[in-house]
Each structure stands twice: as C-alpha cells, then as structure tokens.
C-alpha cells in the first residue's frame, strides 16, 4: 500500500534509496539490494504484506524505475509553493525532526486535528487523503486516533484504550500481526500489535466490530455507539512524519437518538483536549446554518473557532458546483473559521486489481501490491478531478488555492506551525545552538589544525544556516591548515616537548647509570661472600684436623695456594664479565630506548592545540630517529667510558686480589718457600682504591655523560624544517572528526528548518497585521498621547525602513491601553528593530476586560521578533521578572536579563550559556 512519498526510503532499513541499486519487490515497494542481501536464512518481512520480501525485477530493468526516480526527486525538491504542500510529509521539519528523534532537540507537542461531521460526509476520506493511504473502516462506529510520530520506519501499531480515567489499554482479543499470525495461546494479555499495511484496514474493522458487540445486547440490532469510552489508536512511525494526531470521530446521525447523544458526547470530549484544532467536514451542497458540527462549535466551543477550519467534500458530484460554492462563499459563518476552508473531490471506487497480472499466480503478495497501486490511482484521479474543478471555477477569486488536497494540507501545515510557535521554536533554536557549541568545542579539542578535506555538504549547510540565522550567531567550521604551515606547527611543538623532556631524560640516564653500577656492586658483594665462605671452610677444616702436623705439610700448603690462585681467577672473570656486560648493554641502547620512550609518551600526551598524538606515524618515526641519535651520542659514549674503565681497573687481576699469611705475594712465586710454610694462606679481594669499583664506575660514567650535548641532539633531530614528515592522522581521529562534522551538519540542517519556520511565522504575523492596518492608521486618533516624532518613527518601522533600528517609547499611566497595544504591535512586525527602550510602563495595568494588556503585548513582541538585540525597561513596574524571563526564553535573539530592585543599587545579571547575543536591561 502506497502511504506517501517515502517510497524514496528503504522501508526496512530506513536508509535513502539508491536508484542505481534499487529493487522493486512483490509488495509494490522499492528496497536497496544491500538490504535484501542481509537477510540470510531469516527472510525479511514486508511492512506492507507481512510476508517475506521477494524481489520482482531490478529497478533499472523495469518501467517503474521512472517512478522511483520521480519519487526521489519529489522527496528532495520542495513544493513549488511552500504554503501548499502536496503530501503530509512535505511540510515536516525533516532535519529538525532527526534531531528530535536523537533527543538533541526537545520534542514538539502533538498537534491534534479533530475531524467532526455527519455520517457519509467524508470524515474518514479526508484523513485518508492527508496520509495518501486507504485503511480506515467505512461507517466508523468507534473513535480512531492516528498518531503520526517522527521516528524509525516500522509497521503500524494498533492499541485499544480507555479515553478517560487512567487511559488503560484494553487487551486485543485478535491475532497479533507481526508478519505472521500468532497462535491463540499467545494472545492473552496482548494490548498492542504491529500490523502489516495490507491487513491494517481489516484489523481495524474487526476491532471496531468486536468493541461494538460488547455493548449491543441484540447482535442483530442496529449497532449503537460504544458507551464504554473506548478508542482505537493507530501509531504510524516514519522520519518523514510530523508530530501530528488525527482523530476520526464517528459521523453524526439522527437515528437512533441514543447514538446521536453518544456521538455528541464523544465530540465534546475530544474538543476539550489540549492542542486541539477542529476540522469540520461537510458536503458542499450543505447549508452552513444547518451543519450540526458548526452549531456544536458555536454553542459549546466558540473559543476554538479561530483555530477551526472547514472542508467541503463531494464537490465533484454537484452538477451546479459553481452556484453551490458561490452561495457558500457568501455565508457569514465562513468568516468564523480562522484557518479557512478547503474544497475536496471524492476518490472514485477503483478496480480491485491493477492492469497487470500476478507474477506467480498465487495472488497473495501481488494482490496487496495491486491494491497499493490501485489506491495510488484512486487518489491520482481525485487530484485530476480537483484540478479540473479549479480550472472551471477560476473566475471565482475567493476559490484560488482553496480547491484540492493541497489546500487542506496547507491548513494542516498552518496548524502545526501555530502549535510549534508557542511551545517549541525558541527552545529548539537555543537547544540547537547549545548542541552546536558543544560539538564545536569537541572538534577544537581534536585540534583546529588539520589537513583532511572538509565535507562540502558541511560547508554548504553552515552557509545556509548562517543565511537564515536572525542573530548571526556564527560558529564557523575550522578551516583546513596548509600542510607546510601544519608542518611548522608540528615541528615547533615537538621541539617544545623535547625541551620540556630534558630534565626527565637527564634523570633517566643517571638512574640507568646507578642501575648498572648497582649490578657491579652486587657482583663485588657476591665475590666477597664467596671468599669469606671459603676461608671459613678452611678454618673449620683446620680445627677438625686438631692442628697435627705431618710430613706432607709443605705439599698441602702448595696445593692450597694453587686453589687460591684458581679462585682468584674465577672471581676476576666475574668482575671483568660483568663490566663487559655493562658496556654491551650500553652499546645495545640501554638509555636510547628509555629516553625515546619518554619523548614518544610526551608526544602522545600532548594537550596543546596541535595534539601531537594524532600523528602516530610521525611519533614512531621521531622515536626511531631519536633512538638512533641517542644510541650514537649517549649510549656509545657511555659504553666507551665503560670499556676505558675496564682497561684501567679490571683487566689485571693483580690489581683486584692479594694473598695474606705468606711473605710472598700471589702471582709472584708459584710455590711458597719453606720458611713461610708455617702460616695459612688466604686470598683477599682488595681493589687498589679507597672506593668500591661500583662507585668508581658510577663516577666514570657520570663524567662521560657530562660531555653529552642534548641540545645538539635536539637540533640535529629537527635541523631541516622541510624534511618529509608523515602527517597522516590516526584513523580514529579522522573518523571522530568526520563524525563531529556530520553531527554539526545535522544541527545546521535543523537550524535551517527552525529559522525557516520562525521566519514563516513572522511573515504570517506580518501578513495578518498588514491585512488589518494601513499607514494612515498610525495617527493621533489611534495613538493617543504619543508625540508626532514618535509617530513618525513608528511609521518608518511600519514601512520596514532599514535605516530605523532603534526607538524609545514613553508609555506612562496616562497613555491608553489601546495605544500601548498599537505601538508594540507595529514594532512586533518590524524586520529591522534591534534596540527598544520603554519608559514608565506599568506591566501590572489591566484594561477594561481585566487583561494584563501591556505584559501580553510585550510577550508577543518578544515571541515574533527576529532582530531585537537590546530591550531596556526604565522606571517600569514589572510586577516581578519571572514572566519577563520566560518571555525572553521564547525569543530567538534577546538573551541576557539585568534587573535592579528599588532597594538595590547594583544590577543583578543572569547570564545563560545558551543565550549569548543580546540583553534586556531593567532600570
């Protein structure tokens, strides 16, 4: 079933259709081939038929491809006359609604259109033509509420509920259509279901029938209206829908009397709800004085007449349409309908099948598709009939633009705009700007310097948003940085980071030297323990032998000396090997790796505008280059110092070990003399210095480090500013920036919608004002108490003279209420007012009717003005500033309120972050 021009949207994925990759399925809808390709083993179910989606033929090979392309063009292109849309989604705030769906903007209050009329006058038909869908039951005996919700595309959802009290939902005693029929065992307690479009009318008809049966004692009798205050709710969700509620109230009939009374009670109940705009539906042949729905509004809901409209139906069935419409236009009652009237033709009953035949002969999916195309043809015929009638009646000037579905949609559009004006526009405007400021700050946090290409669409929508912006609150997109300039920024920032790392690098080298010296210190301690342990073992052995000498004493001493010499060699090898290991570690980059890591981490943690962490390849290359330099100029120098230390102190074992207990020094005599055999011999680790080898190595390496010039290392690293630098950003950064830019683009699109709507509202206000006021009305007769100079300024504002942007009004108690209203009314429609100063106005004054006229007049000015920057109230009695504060929030330009109480000399300034452009001053 063709609902609206959302054929240009893939109904299963919600994504725009790709004409080059679109497939028309057997349910009559178009889908992207990629969507159908994701089905796998679990087939996708059509929202139209509820059956698995099966492709018919590719769009490029089918004659309906032209229809697809046309639908896409119609969806993108605005109507020729923006005041006269062609379908219900043509006037929607498409981009702003996307922000509402994502909760960036506050949701709008639903506009409730309550359709009332007599039976068979076409109430249900009017609603169906608004939606371009044929799904409402005939001769409805139950109120049906259609909720249009901006959101993800889904199948229609049906709910039954009470109209009063807790509005509880009533369980549905019917199968649940979620694309399949749910077994009866699963129906208990079900209160809502998703129904395929092809089954929607059947489901509604069955539900209405079941509800009627619950209140009819005699099933064979004429059904009475339900008196159990039940209603059926249909929820339709799509990104293309406005936030709109349509109420199909059962038609009024005289018989039976109980039915008439019940219908009128229900009409009263719906007309008493909030945000209601009545739509009276009557046949064109009716006499307005005899239309009961009009009498009901006049007698019980007269306050709704300025928000009401009337639709004349069946004009194509009247052979004397010229005379009939002329008589209607002469009726005084027509003037009561503040939103005007529309004239509609009736859709003709079309054949049940399309000209084509079923593709597979099964008649299931194709029957639904044929019915959908049949509805398309029905409404197309009605549109052609309306064009013919409009041409025939072109001589009646009052009918211009009033014949056809476009006229009814224009009425609906105005009603939606009227609701949005008071509840949403200003809040959405400031919320959108606050969101954009947040996104702009996030974008700058990623760095304002980048070379990636800015999306052209983002630039285009920013320009369009600024063009429609009343306050010119510009938060420009950051410009891409030329690569040469970015290279300069990067090198300069890298040098700053390197200079900041000097202290850490020095400390790291000293810490590493201490670690290496500690390794040698541990080796020395291990040798001393080993020698001490060996000497202790010898003493224990001597004690166990009892000190008895024998003939082999000299030979034993010689053997002991040999063992001592071997032990000394082993200990010397440990020391020399450990020093060689230290030199090897230095040559391998013991410091270079650690120092390069310090610098790379500092680059990755950069929080400046440059944000060095974005350039992963640059950091890796810098780390590699720096490591090479450090290896050459730090670790190589220290390694050479370690080798020099080894040559000086550890190459010769005689400098490290001595023997005690003999008058011969080790390594000078292979065998001790007999004269010295009486004493025991021991080897002692005795470096020829007052300090340990570890401490000596530490001083030696530190002295070598003092010769390292870190400044020269940095200078060498960045010697050539124009050397090739890989400024490719991380994928994550680029993706984040692109996502932010697209989010900002969405907000800009929404701002264009919001500003366009506000401008249109101001234009409507101006047209309404200028239709009832002329320049000659700005005279002393209507502006009593106002001086001639002020009157002249008001005339300039009335004529929209751009050279007049500020005015001062003195409106004391002697000025009549009518003058205050007239003066502020002129300024309310001005396109150039930027500064307004009001003296001595008492906002607590009331007119003869008891209304706070001055307060309401100023609130209206703030509501409609798009250019006001500064509002100054001098010696005015405000009666509290709460109302003024609220009024300022409904303005798209005035932002800061300053108040001063009589007993306080200083101003109390309240600054709001979401309002940043202008100020109101109260003295």
Q: How far apart are CA 358 and CA 363, in angstroms?
A: 6
Q: How far apart are CA 14 and CA 95, in angstroms?
A: 15
H helices of 226-312, in order, are 257-271, 292-300
Question: 361: which residues sit within 8 A by CB, 6+ positions away?
Answer: none
pLDDT of residue 220: 52
Number of residues that this document lists for the chain? 923
> pLDDT averaged over the chain?
78
Say which range, 158-167, 546-555, 621-630, 681-690, has the weakest mean pLDDT.
546-555
Q: What is the pLDDT of residue 720?
A: 63
What number of other Cβ atoms are within 10 A of residue 247's Cβ? Answer: 25
| Furthest C-alpha separation in the chain | 157
At 300, the pLDDT band (50, 70, 90 cuts) reads very high
* Most confident listed range (76-85, 338-347, 738-747): 738-747
Residue 807's pLDDT is 92
3-state secondary structure of 672: coil
Count the neighbouring beta carbons within 10 Å of the beta carbon of residue 423.
17
The DSSP H or E segment spanning 22 is strand 22-25
CB-based contacts of 749: which residues, under 8 Å, 6+ apart?
A: 95, 96, 98, 461, 465
Q: CA geometry: angle at 595 spanning 592 and 600, to 5°?
A: 115
pLDDT score at 296: 92
Q: Taking 80 as the threshold, does the pLDDT of residue 574 lie above it?
A: yes
User: Residue range 35-60: average pLDDT?
Assistant: 67
pLDDT value at residue 38:
60
Q: What's the average model confidence in pLDDT over 381-386?
A: 80
Instruction: Give the mean model confidence (pLDDT) for residues 618-638.
Output: 90
Structure tokens at 731: 């994928």
Question: Where residue 657 falls among pLDDT bands split at 50, 70, 90?
Answer: confident
- Listed range (218-227, 557-566, 807-816, 863-872) with the worst mean pLDDT: 218-227
Average pLDDT over residues 180-189: 57
- The pLDDT tens digits for 815-851 are 998 899 999 999 988 988 988 888 888 888 888 777 8
Per-residue confidence band for 337, with pLDDT thresholds at 50, 70 and 90: very high
pTM (2 d.p.): 0.72
Range scoring the smallest mean pLDDT among 393-402, 472-481, 608-617: 472-481
Residues 386-397 have a mean pLDDT of 85
Q: Which CATH class is domain 776-922?
A: alpha beta
Instruction: Specify the range with the lowest mean pLDDT, choosing from 213-227, 768-782, 867-881.
Output: 213-227
Residues in CB range of 412: below 8 A, 6 or more apart: 88, 91, 113, 130, 244
Please give the backbone phi and psi of residue 169, each rounded to the nearest 5 degrees, phi first. -85, 145
Mean pLDDT of 250-259: 77
- Kindly state the average pLDDT of the residues 327-337: 87
User: Distance between CA atoms of 692 and 699, rounded to whole angstroms?
Assistant: 11
Give residues with Cβ within 8 angstroms of 836, minimum separation 6.
806, 807, 809, 827, 861, 868, 870, 871, 872
Q: How confident is the model at residue 183 (pLDDT cuts 50, 70, 90)?
A: low
C-alpha–C-alpha distance, residues 308 and 306, integer Å: 6
- What pLDDT, in 10s, does the model give residues 98-136? 788 777 888 777 889 999 998 888 899 899 888 888 888
Pairing of strands 111-117, 244-248: parallel
The radius of gyration of the chain from alpha carbons, rounded to an integer in Å, stands at: 46
Query: What does the DSSP 8-state code read for residue 310?
Result: E
What is the pLDDT at residue 258?
73
Contact 125, 282 (CB under 8 A): no
Reported confidence tier of residue 554, pLDDT bands at 50, 70, 90: low
Band of the pLDDT at 384, cuts 50, 70, 90?
Answer: confident
pLDDT above 50: residue 354: no
Range with the lowest mean pLDDT among 30-44, 369-383, 870-884? 369-383
User: What's the whole-number mean pLDDT along residues 863-883?
Assistant: 82
pLDDT of residue 77: 53
Tell me the average pLDDT across 671-690. 55
**Residue 44 in this model has a pLDDT that exceeds 60:** yes
Band (pLDDT 50/70/90 cuts) for residue 146 is very high
Q: How do residues 580-605 score in pLDDT, each as one tens digit?
A: 888 898 899 889 999 999 999 999 99
pLDDT at res. 826: 92
Lowest mean pLDDT, pick from 266-280, 453-467, 737-751, 861-875: 861-875
Assess whether pLDDT exceeds 90 at residue 311.
Answer: yes
pLDDT grade for 350, boundaries at 50, 70 and 90: very low
Residues of CATH 3.80.10 domain(s) within the chain? 776-922
Average the pLDDT over each of 465-479, 622-636, 806-820 and give the range with the smallest value: 465-479
Q: Is 642 left (phi over 0), alpha (psi -120 to 50) or beta?
A: alpha
- According to the model, what pLDDT value does residue 827 have? 92
Instruction: State what percent of residues in the chain have pLDDT above 70.
Output: 78
360: pLDDT confidence band, cut at 50, 70 and 90?
very low
CA distance 779 to 857: 19
């Amino acid at each position: 079933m063709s609902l609206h021009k959302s054929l240009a949207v893939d109904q299963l994925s919600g994504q725009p259709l790709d004409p080059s990759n679109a497939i028309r399925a057997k349910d009559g809808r178009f889908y992207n081939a990629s969507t159908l390709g994701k089905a796998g083993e679990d087939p996708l179910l059509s929202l139209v038929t509820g059956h698995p989606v099966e492709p018919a033929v590719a769009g490029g090979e089918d004659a309906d491809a032209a229809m697809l392309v046309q639908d896409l063009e119609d969806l993108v292109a605005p109507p020729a006359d923006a005041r006269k849309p062609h379908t219900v989604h043509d006037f929607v705030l498409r981009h702003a609604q996307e922000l509402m769906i994502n909760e960036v903007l506050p949701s709008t209050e639903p506009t409730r259109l309550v359709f009332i009329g007599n039976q068979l006058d076409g109430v249900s038909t009017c609603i169906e033509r608004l939606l371009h869908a044929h799904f409402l039951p005939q001769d409805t005996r139950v109120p049906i509420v259609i909720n249009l919700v901006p959101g993800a595309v889904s199948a229609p959802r049906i709910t039954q509920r009470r109209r009063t009290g807790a509005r509880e939902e009533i369980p549905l005693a019917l199968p649940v259509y979620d694309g399949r029929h749910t077994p009866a065992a699963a129906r208990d307690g079900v209160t809502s279901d998703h129904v395929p479009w092809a089954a929607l009318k059947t489901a509604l008809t069955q539900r209405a029938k079941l509800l009627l049966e619950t209140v009819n004692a005699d099933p064979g009798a004429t059904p009475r209206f339900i008196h159990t205050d039940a209603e059926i709710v249909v929820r339709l969700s799509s990104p293309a829908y406005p936030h709109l509620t349509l109420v199909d109230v059962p038609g009024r009939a005289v018989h039976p009397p109980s039915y008439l009374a019940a219908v009128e009670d229900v009409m009263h109940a719906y007309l008493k709800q909030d945000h209601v705009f009545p739509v009276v539906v009557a046949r064109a042949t009716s006499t307005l004085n005899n239309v009961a729905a009009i009498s009901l509004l006049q007698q019980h809901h007269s306050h709704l007449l300025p928000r009401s409209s009337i639709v004349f139906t069946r004009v194509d069935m009247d052979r004397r349409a010229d005379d009939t419409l002329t008589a209607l236009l002469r009726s005084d009652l027509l003037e009561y309908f503040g939103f005007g009237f529309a004239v509609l033709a009736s859709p003709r009953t079309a054949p049940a099948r399309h000209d084509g035949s079923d593709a597979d002969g099964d008649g299931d999916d194709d029957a639904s598709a044929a019915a959908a195309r049949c509805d398309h043809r029905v409404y197309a015929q009605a549109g052609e009939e309306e064009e013919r009638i409009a041409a025939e009646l072109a001589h009646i000037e009052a009918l211009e633009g009033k014949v056809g579905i476009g006229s009814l949609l224009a009425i609906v559009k105005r009603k939606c705009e009227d609701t949005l004006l008071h509840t949403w526009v200003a809040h959405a405007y400031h919320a959108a700007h606050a969101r954009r400021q947040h996104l702009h700050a996030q974008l700058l946090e990623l760095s304002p310097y980048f070379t990636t290409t800015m999306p052209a669409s983002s630039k285009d929508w920013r320009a369009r948003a600024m063009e429609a912006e009343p306050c010119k609150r510009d938060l420009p997109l950051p410009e891409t940085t030329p690569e040469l300039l970015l290279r300069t920024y990067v090198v300069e920032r890298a040098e700053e980071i390197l200079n900041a790392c000097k202290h850490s690098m020095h400390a790291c080298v000293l810490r590493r030297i201490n670690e290496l010296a500690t390794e040698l210190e541990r080796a020395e301690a291990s040798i001393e323990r080993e020698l001490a342990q060996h000497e202790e073992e010898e003493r224990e052995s001597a004690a166990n032998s009892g000190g008895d000498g024998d003939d082999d004493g000299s030979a034993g001493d010689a053997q002991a000396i040999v063992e001592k010499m071997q032990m000394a060699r082993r200990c010397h090898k440990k020391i020399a090997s450990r020093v060689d290991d230290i030199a090897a570690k230095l040559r391998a980059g013991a410091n270079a790796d650690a120092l390069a890591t310090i610098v790379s981490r500092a680059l990755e943690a950069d929080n400046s505008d440059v944000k060095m962490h974005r350039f992963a390849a640059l950091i890796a290359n810098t780390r590699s280059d720096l490591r090479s330099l450090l290896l050459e100029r730090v670790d190589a120098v220290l390694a050479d110092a370690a080798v020099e230390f080894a040559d000086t102190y550890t190459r010769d074992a005689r400098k490290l070990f001595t023997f005690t207990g003999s008058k011969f020094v080790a390594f000078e005599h292979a065998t001790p003399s007999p004269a010295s055999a009486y004493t025991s011999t021991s080897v002692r680790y005795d470096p020829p210095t007052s300090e340990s080898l570890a401490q000596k190595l530490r001083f030696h390496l530190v002295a070598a480090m003092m010769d390292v010039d870190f400044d020269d290392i940095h200078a060498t690293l960045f010697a050539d500013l124009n050397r090739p630098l890989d400024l490719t950003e991380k994928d994550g950064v680029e993706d984040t920036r692109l996502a932010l830019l697209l989010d900002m683009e969405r907000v800009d699109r929404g701002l264009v919608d919001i500003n366009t709507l506000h401008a249109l509202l101001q234009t409507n206000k101006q047209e309404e004002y200028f239709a009832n006021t002329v320049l000659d009305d700005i005279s002393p007769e209507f502006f009593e108490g106002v001086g001639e100079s002020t009157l002249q300024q008001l005339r300039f504002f009335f004529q929209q003279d751009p050279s007049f942007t500020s005015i001062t009004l003195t409106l004391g108690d002697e000025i009549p209420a009518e003058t205050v209203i007239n003066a502020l009314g002129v300024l309310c429609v001005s396109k150039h007012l930027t500064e307004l100063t009001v003296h001595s106005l008492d906002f607590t004054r009331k007119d003869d009717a008891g209304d706070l006229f001055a307060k309401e007049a100023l609130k209206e000015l703030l509501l409609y003005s798009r250019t006001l920057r500064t509002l100054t109230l001098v010696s005015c009695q405000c009666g509290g500033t709460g109302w003024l504060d609220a009024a300022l929030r409904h303005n798209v330009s005035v932002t800061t309120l300053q108040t001063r109480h009589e007993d306080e000399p200083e101003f109390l300034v309240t600054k709001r972050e979401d309002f940043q452009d202008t100020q109101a001053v109260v003295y």
